[in-house]
Amino acid sequence: MQYKVTLDRDTCIGTHSCTAEAPKYFRKADDGKVDLFNATFNEEDDVWELTLDDATDLLDLQNAEDGCPVDAIEVEELS
């Protein structure tokens, strides 16, 4: 099963709860927001995306999604 993690940096307000929940994927950026490691920018949707091939870190990523107060992170299962 594959999963897609999406980060909308424009929505991010820099609370950094995601860096605590999933430090393997999120880090504090110099501008006070967060970056998603190894992500690709989707120009059409204006978001950063990362596709994962397994659910190894799914719980951490879902906790990061749930902990974001402005819903800047989305984790979805791909068919």
Extents of the domains making up the chain = 2-78
Per-residue pLDDT, averaged over 21-44, amounts to 98
CA of 2: how far to CAs of 13, 26, 31, 42, 67, in Å? Answer: 28, 19, 31, 18, 22
Per-residue pLDDT tens digits for 63-74: 999 999 999 999
**Coil, helix or strand at residue 52:** strand
pLDDT for residue 62 is more than 90: yes
> Contact at 8 Å (CB) between 15 and 28?
no
pLDDT given for residue 52 in this prediction: 96
Provide the CATH number for the domain formed by 2-78 in this structure.
Answer: 3.30.70.20
Percentage of the chain exceeding pLDDT 70: 100
